[in-house]
């Protein structure tokens, strides 16, 4: 699976259909950053459980904060 296709939880405002406010958008970006940092800290066993290699997790966690999933409306 290519790294850029890794599933990422939908932004809360996008999932609910509500308009995205600046504050909500900032919180969504910070949440994505936190998720990527958490991914970087997973053990090899945990990565195997979710079907990722250490290299794929490293690439995903190294993505810049503005590199968001395509389904997010900016």
Residue 53 maps to a domain: yes
Q: Indicate whether 4 pLDDT > 80.
A: no
Q: How far apart are CA 50 and CA 57, in angstroms?
A: 10
The separation between CA 17 and the C-alpha centre of its own chain, rounded to angstroms, equals: 19
Residue 37 maps to a domain: yes
Q: Which residue has the higher pLDDT, 45 or 3?
A: 45
- At 58 the pLDDT is 94
Q: What is the mean pLDDT of residues 4-18?
A: 54
Write down the pTM of the prediction.
0.63
Residue 15 maps to a domain: no
In terms of residue numbers, what domain contains 49? Answer: 32-65
Domains held by the chain: number: 1
Residue 25 maps to a domain: no
- pLDDT tens for each residue of 12-70: 555 556 666 888 888 888 999 999 999 999 999 999 999 999 999 999 999 998 888 88
């Amino acid at each position: 699976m290519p790294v850029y296709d890794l599933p990422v939880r939908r932004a809360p405002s996008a999932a609910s259909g509500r308009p995205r406010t600046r504050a909500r958008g900032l919180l969504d970006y910070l949440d994505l950053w936190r998720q990527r940092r958490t991914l970087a800290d997973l053990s090899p066993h945990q990565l195997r459980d979710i079907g990722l290699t250490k290299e794929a997790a490293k690439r995903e966690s190294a993505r810049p904060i503005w590199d968001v999933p395509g389904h997010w409306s900016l």
